[in-house]
């Protein structure tokens, strides 16, 4: 290098950012607007000091927002002000971080907008909605200020950029943008400078619209500036390339480095802020690690992190970036509004892979909880709304077992922690999960929920889940965002109609499809990697053209090319590729069935298993059960058992894949293909055929192994009961994320639980030594491993063969399943006594053991759980199995085989709640059960076997309870079919028929009443009047008319009429009066109607001649019916009537009883106040004697004589003194003093 260097060769100093643009911008404002910025003269304070002031003002306002839980709705958007302020803090902090930029502002001018922002943040909030909109705009401005400062250095002051052709345009655009910012800030300052009263008045006319209009020029100026910046970038790139072409070295390394640093700063400002700021380390829950683990596992044991690892497996590097660049996605990420973003796409378009990308992108930045929904009967919990919500609770409850669990969750387990109940006793319903999730939102400044394949949630659960998600969005006190992927689904789209949506278009993921094609072609090694280049290009073009955004379709077509050996065959195949996924699957299925009988049989049982299996088992356990089916094709046990996962996947042509050692369909579309393949004439995958095949295989496996392996299974479960929890630490997950894995260790095996959600946290403390659970066990040999597989196969078969048999429909009554069931239950033939088999007895014990530990497994039907529990109760009884599941052919078989225990009673849990309560602690016979559960066919079959069964079963009810009467129950329910059936049997005689008749009337079942009368007309004479009473009380006009039309014997009809009035049944009253029934009781009924304020009945009774009884008020006052007495008085009833016993009036009784409201009503109606009874006592005497001070006051106020003497010569004061009623005595003395004063004045 030459010693002589030019000026250009020397490193240039860091450029100084002059701020004449802010001066120029300020100069464009009017004098009035400029005056508002006089406060910005900061003297010697640096820009860094001003920024520190802004940060402090932001912090204080954020604390105020948190305290007052401010959120505003502007133009339909609910803005979380706390999050807006959080973003302002981040943007200001980034400016401070880029100190080489911030410190170069002229303290007098560069700090101008920042000082205005500080003043606005310090202003008193009068209208939260206005403040919310202003704050949202201020957040945008702070980001603009930081970005524009970098623009100035990058495009105007940098030696490498200041000579750009666009420099002058950028300079002018920045001045225009700055002027609009200052003008907007001036308007905001003017608004807050006004008095609160004036601001309030103006807030009534929505200043938000005014501020929106004032902010609009900023948007326009920003758009112009950003466009010029893009042009500058393009120009800079061209010059850089030209320099490289001329092999010119960079003469100003310092300027170039600064240019790149500023570029990084710009990109950083465009990224969403990190919201994962919760400090769990500062929270104390007072729980031991083991207790935390038990709490987390009892909330949900779904391994969500394993699902994430599986979902991201095979995702190509760089794929899906188009989604992260979508404006809708960026807006959703950056917004301070609680919102939902929906991702829609056709089957096979990569929604799950994109969801896994979003989860990875959010991790470490947001507090995130996610769930991969799935429609799979082997994992039913993944399609249940309550289980999905419980998993979200578990993820947000705490990071791991060595970190505190947040208070809303700990509260749910206070009893369990105290030892008052088990941790598993806490039931997490959907509503309970929603409530706790809302409380957890209080703990996080922001949270994000990600749900994949929401359309796969059970239809009956989906709406409830959607409602709870919407409720959380509406009520969340802090920022809550949701990302949801699904296929096109009307319910989901309608529910989130107003939410932004991204539809996976073929143009969007074309780049990802292209990369996927390249990756799969490289892996396929077509023609042993000797594929001609032109043919390879044709394959790529054909696949890309036919994919239409479907990765799955591409994968299937490449798979179809692999077996081809010649380039000509590949080229020919390209011309006949099926255009749809369904067509591709059909081709593959046909090819499987052409590959050999044994391969086809293995594939079919695998497909059936994956469609209908009720639990997830390992591939080896599946092979144990499948071998029973394979043996039908005369495949040896050794060969059948030797079929491994690789062979199954190969035979199934990759329609099946292995996940964590278990088989599953490669894609949901594969399941949907088999569910709809019956349309092509293939019926083996219909539910009745598929379940029949599995049930038969399970029974054959049980018949062979249950007696030997059943006891070992129960023993293994007993060992499993002694479970202890420890925490194992892994440095990283396979994807590189630091994590903690909670693991359950038993004497038998180690089952890793799901890895908790990673969150930013301090380094973990030194690990304690692991707990010693048991002595180390030697690694299992091949024999013990095989035995373990067989035991697990027995467990599945024992637990679920009944389910599969029930789902087999009519196929259950046909061989081979029907024969397998009979063989499993025991031995017997028609006319030969049936003996229960040992296999069935062991099976019952095994199932009871399984259910005892299983309780109500998530996703299972409680009714079916209780049915199986009842069917397997000891002693083992196949007749109960047949009755409970309605297997009528088996009922006939056992009866014909003279099985002697068909009447054996037992306690049942499968009755509905009402019946279970009625028969709590009682045993019922199969026949009684059939009646309770309305099994009509079963009733007929059992009755034909023994007509004495029902009577014997009735005697089994507890002596302290009424005898169960099936006919009465059926009549009360209006079950005409059951009533007709029971009437043909022995049902208890005429008395029971009469009771049933009355019960039917009380429930308005006229058809049942007609049926009972047709069977026995005497029921009308025996129970007709009772039936009429019940119908009147219940207000059933149809039943009343039915009975009267048939001339029911009448007794005490007046009571029926009064009961109808008492119950408010106006129409029944009208029917009785129109038929001239109960006329002797209309006056009594009138009293009831008046007392109930029933004007309609009152008018009707008066119209039919009801009279106001002269002594009604007196009687009601004597009985203490205060409300009735008052209403009768107000209705004009006689108030002077005397009761015969003591010649007392209503006022006497009301005063004596202290009925202040009745006394007031009587006096207002003109009742004589000094009337005397048979003992010459006035109402005042009685009130004074009983100490009724309030009544005494009323009587005195209406002229009661204080000196009136009773038959014994005593005045009221004497009676009050005798009973020591001080308050009453004082009132009377005051009355006497007033009387004396009046007399003196009169004299």
State the residue for tokens 């997950």. Answer: 733
Walk me through the domains of the chain, giving residue ranges and CATH numbers.
20-269 (no CATH), 284-503 (3.40.50.300), 510-577 (no CATH), 587-685 (1.10.10), 1108-1242 (1.25.40.20)
pLDDT at 250 over 50: no
Model confidence at 262, in pLDDT bands (50, 70, 90)?
A: low
Using the predicted structure, report yes or no on whether residue 880 has a pLDDT greater than 80. Answer: yes
End-to-end CA distance of the chain: 140
Residue with tokens 């296929």: 487
Highest average pLDDT, of 31-45, 212-226, 678-692, comes from 678-692
At residue 73, the 3 state secondary structure works out as: strand
Q: Find out whether 1153 and 1197 touch, Cβ atoms under 8 Å.
A: no
Q: What is the pLDDT of residue 125?
A: 73
Do the strands 479-486 and 446-452 form a parallel or antiparallel pair, or are they unpaired? parallel
- Whole-Å CA distances, 305 to 367, 504, 617, 752: 15, 25, 19, 11
User: How far apart are the C-alpha atoms of 302 and 290, rounded to whole Å?
Assistant: 19
Strands 826-829 and 750-752: unpaired
Minimum mean pLDDT among 909-918, 1036-1045, 1161-1170: which range? 909-918
**Average pLDDT taken over every residue of the chain:** 80
Structure tokens at 1066: 């106006």
Confidence of residue 269 (pLDDT cuts 50, 70, 90): low
- At residue 492, φ and ψ (nearest 5 deg) are -70, -45
Residue 1141 has phi, psi (to 5 degrees) of: -60, -50
Q: What 3-state DSSP class applies to 137?
A: helix
More confident residue, 34 or 702: 702
Beta bridge partners of 342: 484, 501
CA distance 939 to 931: 7
Residues 387, 381: Cα–Cα separation, whole Å: 6
Dihedral of CA atoms 666, 669, 673, 675 in degrees, nearest 10, equals: 100
Asked if residue 1062 has pLDDT above 60, the reply is yes
Please check the confidence at residue 8 and state whether its pLDDT lies above 70. Answer: no
Confidence at 383, pLDDT banded by 50, 70, 90: very high
Per-residue model confidence (pLDDT) at position 340 = 94
Mean pLDDT of 499-511: 88
pLDDT (mean) for 205-213: 74
Structure-token pair, residue 1086: 């009138």
State whether residue 79 is helix, strand or coil: strand
Span 568-593, average pLDDT: 92
- Helices within 1120-1208 (DSSP H only): 1122-1130, 1146-1153, 1156-1164, 1179-1186, 1189-1197
Residue count (the chain): 1243
Of 1199, 1121, 1197, residue with least CA distance to 1157: 1121
Question: How far, in Å, CA of 1072 to CA of 1142, rounded?
Answer: 38
Q: Which two tokens stand for residue 291?
A: 């207790």
Q: How many CA atoms lie within 13 A of 680 on its CB side?
A: 15
What DSSP state is assigned to residue 156? Answer: I
pLDDT value at residue 556: 92
Q: How many CB atoms lie within 10 A of CB 983?
A: 17
Q: How far is CA 12 from CA 8, 158, 261, 1163, in A?
A: 8, 10, 16, 108
CB 1052 within 8 A of CB 1028: no
Predicted local confidence at residue 161, as pLDDT? 57
Q: What is the structure's pLDDT at 115?
A: 84
Rounded CA separation 746/461 (Å):
35
Indicate the range of 725-729, 838-842, 867-871 predicted with least confidence: 725-729
pLDDT at 363: 86
Please report which confidence band the pLDDT of residue 231 belongs to, taking 50, 70 and 90 as the band edges: confident
Ramachandran area for residue 9 (φ above 0: left; ψ -120 to 50: alpha; else beta): alpha
Give, in order, the Cα–Cα distances in Å from 183 to each of 116, 117, 213. Answer: 11, 13, 12
Asked if 1078 and 1053 touch (Cβ cutoff 8 Å), the reply is yes
DSSP states of 571-582: HHHHTT--SSHH
Q: What is the pLDDT of residues 56-110, one digit of tens each?
A: 888 888 888 877 777 777 666 677 787 888 888 888 887 777 654 444 444 445 6
């Amino acid at each position: 290098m030459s010693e002589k260097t030019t000026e250009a060769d020397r490193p240039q100093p860091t450029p100084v950012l002059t701020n004449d643009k802010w001066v120029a911008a300020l100069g464009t404002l009017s004098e009035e607007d400029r005056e508002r910025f006089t406060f910005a003269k900061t003297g010697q304070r640096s820009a860094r000091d001003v920024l520190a002031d802004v940060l402090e003002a932001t912090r204080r306002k954020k604390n105020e927002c948190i305290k007052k839980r401010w959120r505003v709705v502007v133009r339909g958007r609910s803005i979380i002000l706390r999050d807006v302020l959080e973003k302002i803090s981040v943007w200001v902090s980034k400016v401070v971080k880029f100190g080489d930029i911030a410190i170069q502002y002229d303290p007098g001018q560069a700090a101008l907008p920042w000082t205005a922002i500080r003043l606005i943040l310090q202003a008193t909030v009068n209208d939260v909605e206005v403040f919310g909109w202003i704050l949202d705009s201020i957040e945008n401005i702070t980001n603009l200020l930081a970005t524009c400062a970098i623009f100035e250095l990058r495009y105007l002051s940098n030696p490498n950029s200041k000579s750009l052709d666009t420099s002058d345009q950028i300079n002018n655009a920045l001045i225009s943008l700055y002027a609009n910012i200052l003008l907007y800030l001036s308007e905001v300052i003017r608004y807050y400078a006004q008095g609160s009263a004036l601001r309030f008045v103006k807030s009534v006319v929505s200043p938000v619209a005014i501020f929106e209009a004032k902010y609009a020029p900023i948007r326009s100026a920003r758009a112009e500036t950003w466009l010029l910046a893009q042009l500058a970038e393009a120009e800079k790139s061209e010059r850089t390339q030209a320099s490289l072409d001329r092999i010119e070295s960079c003469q100003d390394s310092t300027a170039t480095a600064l240019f790149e640093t500023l570029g990084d700063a710009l990109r950083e400002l465009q990224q969403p802020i990190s919201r994962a700021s919760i400090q769990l380390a500062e929270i104390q829950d007072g729980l031991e690690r083991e207790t935390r683990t038990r709490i987390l596992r009892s909330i949900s044991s779904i391994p969500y992190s394993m699902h994430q690892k599986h979902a991201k497996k095979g995702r190509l590097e760089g794929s899906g970036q188009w989604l992260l660049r979508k404006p809708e996605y960026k807006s959703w990420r950056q917004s301070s509004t609680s919102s939902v973003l929906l991702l829609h796409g056709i089957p096979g378009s990569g929604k799950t892979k994109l969801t896994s990308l979003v989860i990875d992108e959010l991790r470490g930045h947001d507090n995130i909880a996610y769930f991969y929904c799935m429609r799979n009967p082997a994992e039913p919990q993944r399609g249940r709304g309550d289980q999905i919500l419980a998993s979200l609770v578990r993820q947000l409850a705490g990071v791991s077992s060595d970190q505190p669990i947040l208070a809303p969750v700990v509260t749910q387990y206070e009893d369990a922690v105290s030892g008052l109940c088990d941790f598993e006793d806490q039931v997490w319903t959907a509503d309970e999960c929603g409530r706790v999730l809302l409380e957890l939102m209080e703990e996080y400044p922001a949270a994000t929920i990600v749900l994949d394949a929401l359309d796969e949630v059970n239809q009956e659960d989906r709406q409830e889940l959607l409602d709870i998600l919407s409720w959380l969005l509406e009520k969340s006190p802090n920022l809550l965002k949701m990302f949801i992927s699904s296929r096109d689904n009307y319910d989901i789209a309608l529910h989130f109609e107003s939410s932004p949506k991204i539809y996976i278009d073929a143009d969007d993921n074309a780049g990802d499809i292209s990369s996927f094609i390249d990756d799969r072609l490289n892996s396929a090694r077509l023609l042993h990697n000797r594929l001609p280049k032109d043919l390879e290009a044709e394959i790529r073009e054909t696949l890309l053209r036919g994919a239409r955004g479907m990765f799955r379709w591409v994968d299937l077509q490449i798979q179809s090319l692999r077996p081809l050996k010649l380039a000509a065959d590949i080229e020919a195949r390209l011309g006949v590729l099926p255009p749809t996924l369904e067509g591709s699957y059909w081709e593959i299925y046909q090819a499987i069935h052409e590959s050999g009988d044994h391969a086809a049989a293995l594939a079919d049982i695998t497909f059936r298993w994956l469609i209908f299996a009720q639990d997830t088992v390992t591939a080896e356990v599946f092979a144990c059960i499948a071998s029973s089916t394979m043996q039908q094709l005369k495949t040896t046990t050794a060969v059948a058992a030797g079929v491994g996962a690789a062979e199954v996947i190969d035979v199934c042509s990759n329609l099946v894949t292995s996940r964590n050692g278990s088989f599953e369909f490669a894609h949901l579309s594969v399941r949907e293909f088999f569910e709809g393949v019956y349309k092509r004439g293939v019926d083996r995958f219909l539910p009745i055929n598929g379940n029949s095949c599995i049930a038969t295989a399970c029974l054959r496996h049980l018949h062979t192994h249950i007696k030997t392996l059943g006891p070992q299974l129960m023993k293994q479960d007993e060992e499993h009961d002694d479970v202890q929890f420890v925490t194992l630490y892994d440095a990283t997950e396979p994807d590189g994320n630091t994590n903690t894995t909670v693991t359950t260790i038993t004497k038998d095996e180690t089952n890793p639980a799901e890895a908790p959600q990673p969150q930013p946290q301090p380094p973990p403390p030194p690990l304690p030594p692991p707990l010693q659970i048991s002595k180390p066990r030697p690694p299992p040999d091949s024999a013990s491993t095989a035995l373990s597989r067989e035991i697990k196969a027995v467990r599945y078969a024992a637990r679920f063969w009944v389910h599969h048999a029930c789902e087999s429909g009519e196929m259950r009554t046909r061989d081979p399943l029907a024969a397998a069931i009979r063989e499993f239950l025991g031995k017997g033939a028609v006319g030969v006594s049936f003996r229960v088999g040992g296999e069935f007895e062991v099976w019952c014990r095994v199932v009871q053991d399984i259910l005892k530990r299983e309780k109500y497994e998530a996703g299972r039907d409680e009714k079916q759980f209780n049915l199986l529990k009842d069917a397997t109760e000891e002693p083992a009884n196949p007749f109960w199995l047949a009755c409970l599941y309605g297997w009528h052919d088996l009922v006939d078989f056992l009866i014909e085989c003279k099985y002697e225990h068909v009447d054996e009673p037992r306690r049942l849990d499968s009755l509905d709640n009402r019946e279970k309560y009625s028969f709590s602690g009682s045993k019922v016979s199969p026949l009684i059960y059939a009646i309770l559960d309305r099994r009509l066919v079963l009733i007929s079959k059992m009755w034909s076997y023994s007509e004495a069964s029902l009577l014997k079963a009735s005697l089994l009810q507890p002596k302290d309870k009424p005898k169960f009467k099936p006919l009465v129950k059926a009549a009360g329910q209006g079950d005409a079919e059951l009533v007709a059936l029971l009437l043909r049997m022995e049902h208890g005689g005429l008395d029971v028929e009469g009771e049933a008749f009355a019960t039917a009337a009380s429930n308005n079942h006229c058809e049942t009443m007609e049926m009972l009368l047709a069977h026995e007309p005497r029921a009308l004479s025996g129970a007709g009047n009772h039936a009429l009473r019940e119908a009147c009380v219940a207000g059933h006009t149809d039943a009343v008319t039915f009975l009267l039309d048939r001339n029911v014997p009448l007794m005490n009809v007046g009571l029926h009429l009064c009961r109808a009035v008492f119950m408010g049944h106006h129409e029944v009253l009208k029917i009785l009066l129109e038929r001239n029934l109960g006329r002797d009781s209309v006056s009594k009924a009138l009293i009831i109607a008046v007392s109930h304020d029933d004007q309609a009945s009152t008018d009707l009774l008066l119209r039919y001649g009801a009279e106001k009884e002269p002594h009604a008020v007196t009687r009601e006052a004597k009985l203490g019916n205060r409300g009735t007495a008052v209403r009768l008085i107000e209705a004009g009833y006689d108030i002077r009537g005397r009761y015969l016993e003591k010649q007392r009036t209503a006022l006497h009784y009301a005063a004596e009883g202290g009925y202040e409201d009745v006394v007031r009503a009587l006096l207002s109606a003109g009742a004589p106040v000094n009337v005397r009874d048979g003992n010459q006592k006035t109402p005042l005497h009685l009130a004074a004697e009983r100490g009724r001070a309030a009544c005494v006051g009323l009587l005195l106020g209406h002229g009661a004589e204080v000196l009136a003497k009773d038959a014994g010569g005593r005045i009221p004061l004497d009676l009050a003194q005798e009973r020591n009623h001080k308050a009453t005595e004082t009132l009377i003395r005051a009355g006497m003093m007033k009387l004396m004063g009046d007399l003196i004045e009169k004299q």
